[in-house]
Amino acid sequence: MTFWNQGKALGRWALRAFSSATRSSRSATPKTVFISQSDDIFANLALEDWLYRHHDFSQHRILLLWRNGPAVVVGRHQNPWKETHVGALHDKQVVLARRNSGGGAVYHDQGNLNLSFLTSREGYNRRTNLTVVANALRREFGLEATVNDRDDLVLNGNYKISGTAAKLGRPNAYHHCTLLADVDLDNMKGILNSDDCGIETKATDSVRSPVCNLSSMHPGLNVASLMGAVGREFLRSDDRGVDLGKSAISRQLGFTLVNPTDDWFPGLEKSRAELASWGWRFGRTPDFTVRREFAVPREMCVTEGAKLQVQMRVVKGRVASMSVTVPPGFVSNAPEGEVAVLSGLEGQKFSEEAVGLVEAAFAKKDKSDKKKRFVAECVRRVVQ
């Protein structure tokens, strides 16, 4: 058998082995730690989803450990434009992903470890999982972490080192969380936005907290050492998070490297493509209205302090309606304060693509190049 085939066979064995493993006398369901070999956020989310949909967790639990290249991951019912400057992500080489679980927006890079605790619906318990993580940090790094009432892990009572979210279905469920090992925090703060962008929506909000890296408290701590620590603690704990001792580890099903591809997990590629699609990442945004005002340069209007207002209604990530309210004298052949409804934009994606159409539409109303560019710039700032 080639090395590659050995790996695949091991993965499949790990998924089947639970059926022959027996429960220990102290209620510890057979457990495996999976480590993903991919750093593609969409492949890893697809892997988590595959296990949730296809695996029988009635007699088995899996801790999936994974990390990604730079990404902003928003919750299932969030508005990405409220959480980050979507237009700026491409230049920063950060991708935007939407996960299937609830909760707020997080930033991932290679210094962040993701943990997914996959169980049956009956086995779902967030606090137990977080207690296991806290125990691992104490045992191997001497760090004291506590679980607060929002189910966040905090260090020294102050700094959040982990965010939690969950998906509950039947028969399965999962709780996943992040761990800030050695993340570029400056990059993260610049990317996770809390500016007032004029968006009115019922989408779920993020709750901001001060954060810190675990490596700042324990130099030398990195994602690899964290994976080992948390994985071992998971394997030596029972279903209530109680430590069964080091010898319990060898009675479990150990660590397995997995590759999120169709070869290993049939049908995963289709799921990955769906998670990476515009329709999922942006089209699933709850409907919203955005309203922003911009100060008009003095030379373009007749009065001081004039404002131009852009308002858009966005449904499923596309412009459903848009209006631009201009100050008196802004549009040469229009009466005061005309509300210019720019048609032809309906159905356009809420993005830079809409800006070009706005420019063209406005040019029909006023010959001034400067004004046309000003209006387009206002719209550009709205869609970012």
Q: Which residues bind another protein (CB under 8 A)?
A: 75-77, 100-104, 150-151, 164-170, 202-204, 286
Residue 206 CB, shortest distance to another protein, in Å, is 11
Note whether 244 and 28 are within 8 A (CB).
Answer: yes
Query: How many angstroms separate the CA atoms of 265 and 263, rounded?
Result: 6
- Half-sphere exposure of residue 266, counting CA atoms within 13 Å on the CB side? 1
Residue 82 CB, shortest distance to another protein, in Å, is 14
Query: How many angstroms separate the CA atoms of 258 and 11, rounded?
Result: 6
Q: What is the DSSP string of 117-169?
A: EEEETTT--HHHHHHHHHHHHHHHH---EEE-TTS-EEETTTEEEE-EEEEE-
Nearer to another protein, 100 or 323 (CB): 100
Residue 124 CB, shortest distance to another protein, in Å, is 9
Residue recorded with tokens 């260090």? 155
Helix residue spans in the chain (DSSP H): 3-17, 41-54, 80-83, 86-89, 126-141, 185-191, 223-236, 268-276, 278-281, 352-363, 369-383
For 114, 157, 233, 241, 296, the CA distances from 140, given in Å and listed in that order, are 18, 20, 9, 16, 59
Residue 48 CB, shortest distance to another protein, in Å, is 13
Residue 152 CB, shortest distance to another protein, in Å, is 10
Nearer to another protein, 90 or 270 (CB): 270
Residue 204 CB, shortest distance to another protein, in Å, is 5
Nearer to another protein, 164 or 348 (CB): 164
Nearer to another protein, 310 or 314 (CB): 314
Nearer to another protein, 166 or 290 (CB): 166
Long-range contact pairs involving 6-9 (C-beta distance under 8 Å, separation at least 24): 7/257, 7/259, 8/259, 8/263, 8/264
Query: How many angstroms separate the CA atoms of 166 and 118, rounded?
Result: 10
Nearer to another protein, 205 or 369 (CB): 205
Residue 287 CB, shortest distance to another protein, in Å, is 9
Residue 71 CB, shortest distance to another protein, in Å, is 19
Nearer to another protein, 80 or 231 (CB): 80
Nearer to another protein, 171 or 344 (CB): 171
Query: How many angstroms separate the CA atoms of 298 and 329, rounded?
Result: 11
